[in-house]
Structures are given as structure tokens and as C-alpha cells.
């Protein structure tokens, strides 16, 4: 009988331990659920704020697109007006003021036509315009086209010189001074 009470006491102790463990697990799951709900609520709020910001930004994008469309139509008119004003002021032809500067090096050509995006676009236009088929049935026209293509070839040659790993600007400047170019 004592043995029976001992077994019953051990079983009761085990049941209590199991109940305690189950209760702790339930509390842990409850806390985890509470944390997930809090995170979900926070994420919902952030999502709502992001939607509001997206709507504001969408309105700004629409306004900027309108501005861009307006600006695209404006330059042609303004450029024509500027040309007319300049012709009225100057009379006729192009008047350019020349400044005395040092001669450009191959590095200068590289910086302006190879690295700078606007220079790349200019070189592409010059190449497309003046490097097309130079040979025609008319000998004089062929010579004229070869002469025009020579300018583009010169620019490309200077760029290639600057891109050579052995090139130094100081060496070219020394050569230019020596030859008085």
C-alpha cells in the first residue's frame, strides 16, 4: 500500500510537471502570438504610410511629367527666338571671339570627346555625318568628302593616342614645345 501511495505521488508529481510545462508553453505561444500581432499591426501602419507616400510621389511624378512635356515644346521656340535676336544684334553671320590659349593635347581630346557624354554625342554625330561613304562618281566631291572625314579621323587619332598606356601629357607638351607646334 505504501508502494501504491508512492507510485500515486510520483504520478501526481509527473502530472503536475506536465501541466506546468504545458502552461509555460501556452504562455510562450501566447506571448509569441502577441508579438506577431504587434509586428503585424506595425507593418500594417508602415504599409499604410508607404501607400500615402507613394500617392504623394505619384502626384509629384505626374506634375514633373507635365513640366517635362512643357519644357520639351519650349526649347525649339526659344532657340529660334534666340537666333533671331542674335541675328538682329549682330547683323549677319557668326561672330566668335577667340581667346589665346595653350594648344590642346591628346588628353584634352580624350576628356572632351571620349569621357564627357556630350562630347561623345558630338563625336558620334560628326562621325555619322562626315564619315559616311566618301566615294562618288564625281572626283571633286570624293576629294571634298575625304577632306571632311580627315577631321573626324584626326580627333579619333588624338583620342587613341591619349588612351595608349605609354602616353603622358608631359611628354606630349615637351614634344610640342620642341617642335613649336
152 in the same domain as 80: no
> What is the longest distance spanned by two Cα atoms in the chain?
131
Q: Can you read off the three cell numbers belonging to residue 161?
A: 593616342
65 in the same domain as 110: no
**Residue 9 belongs to some domain of the structure:** yes
**Residue 67 belongs to some domain of the structure:** yes
1 in the same domain as 88: yes
**Residue 100 belongs to some domain of the structure:** no
Give CA angle at 165 (156, 115), nearest 5°: 45
Write out the chain's pLDDT in tens, 181 residues.
Answer: 888 888 888 988 898 899 999 899 989 988 898 888 888 888 888 888 889 999 999 999 999 988 888 777 766 666 677 777 766 655 555 555 566 577 888 888 898 998 999 999 999 999 998 888 888 899 998 898 888 889 999 999 889 888 888 888 887 887 777 776 5
2 in the same domain as 80: yes
> CA Rg, the chain, in Å?
40
Q: Give the model's pLDDT for residue 89.
A: 57
79 in the same domain as 21: yes
3 in the same domain as 88: yes
113 in the same domain as 87: no
Q: Give the model's pLDDT for residue 62.
A: 92
Q: Can you read off the three cell numbers belonging to residue 145?
A: 568628302
Alpha carbon distance 148, 134 (integer Å): 9
**Residue 97 belongs to some domain of the structure:** no
Question: What is the domain count for the chain?
Answer: 2
115 in the same domain as 74: no
Q: Which domain holds residue 132?
A: 106-179
Q: Can you read off the three cell numbers belonging to residue 77?
A: 521656340
**Residue 155 belongs to some domain of the structure:** yes
pLDDT in tens, 58-103: 999 999 988 888 777 766 666 677 777 766 655 555 555 566 577 8
Say how many residues make up the chain: 181
77 in the same domain as 125: no
10 in the same domain as 87: yes
- DSSP H helices, the chain, are 2-90, 106-109, 117-130, 139-163, 169-179
Model pTM score: 0.44
Domain boundary residue among 34, 60, 92? 92
167 in the same domain as 121: yes
Alpha carbon distance 107, 139 (integer Å): 36
Q: Can you read off the three cell numbers belonging to residue 68?
A: 517635362
12 in the same domain as 46: yes
Amino acid at each position: 500500500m505504501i508502494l501504491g501511495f508512492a507510485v500515486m505521488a510520483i504520478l501526481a508529481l509527473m502530472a503536475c510537471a506536465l501541466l506546468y510545462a504545458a502552461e509555460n508553453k501556452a504562455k510562450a505561444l501566447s506571448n509569441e502570438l502577441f508579438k506577431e500581432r504587434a509586428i503585424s499591426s506595425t507593418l500594417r501602419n508602415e504599409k499604410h504610410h508607404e501607400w500615402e507616400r507613394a500617392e504623394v510621389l505619384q502626384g509629384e511624378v505626374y506634375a514633373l511629367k507635365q513640366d517635362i512635356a512643357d519644357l520639351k515644346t519650349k526649347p525649339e521656340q526659344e532657340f529660334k527666338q534666340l537666333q533671331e535676336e542674335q541675328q538682329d544684334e549682330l547683323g549677319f553671320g557668326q561672330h566668335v571671339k577667340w581667346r589665346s590659349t595653350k594648344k590642346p593635347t591628346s588628353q584634352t581630346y580624350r576628356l572632351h570627346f571620349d569621357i564627357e557624354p556630350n562630347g561623345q554625342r558630338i563625336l558620334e554625330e560628326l562621325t555619322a555625318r562626315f564619315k559616311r561613304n566618301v566615294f562618288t562618281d564625281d572626283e571633286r566631291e570624293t576629294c571634298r568628302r575625304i577632306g571632311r572625314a580627315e577631321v573626324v579621323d584626326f580627333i579619333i587619332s588624338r583620342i587613341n593616342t591619349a588612351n595608349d598606356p605609354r602616353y603622358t601629357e608631359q611628354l606630349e607638351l615637351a614634344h610640342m614645345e620642341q617642335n613649336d607646334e
